[in-house]
Amino acid sequence: MNHSDKMATEKVEMADHVEAVKTVHTDGTVDMVDTHAIGGELAEMPKGYFRSVNFIGTVIAVCTGSMCAYLGWVLPANTL
């Protein structure tokens, strides 16, 4: 069973016309998250977004940064 199966969610209207998703966790804590912060649907994405220079550049930058961080740890750690 997945942990998310145990959580109850509902959409609520808050002050200043803000819609939020209220999630009650199994330990009793409550999260209120703005619906605009969750993200959108794939159909709302601009055409060709995943082939754009900005998206591909971001993926390459994150991968390169991860490789540099990994090598920055592994290379000195092997010599110790």
Mean pLDDT of 63-72: 94
Tens of pLDDT, residue by residue over 27-61, are 888 888 777 777 777 888 889 999 999 999 999 99
Answer whether residue 75 shows pLDDT above 80.
yes
Torsion sign, CA atoms 5, 7, 11, 17 = negative
Which residue type does 2 have?
Answer: N
Q: What is the pLDDT of residue 34?
A: 77
- The pTM assigned to this predicted structure is 0.50
How many other C-beta atoms can be found within 10 angstroms of the C-beta atom of residue 80?
Answer: 4
Cβ-based neighbours of 18, under 8 Å, separated by 6 or more: 34
Answer whether residue 1 shows pLDDT above 50.
no
The token pair that represents 67 in the structure block? 């490789």
Which residue type does 37 have?
Answer: A
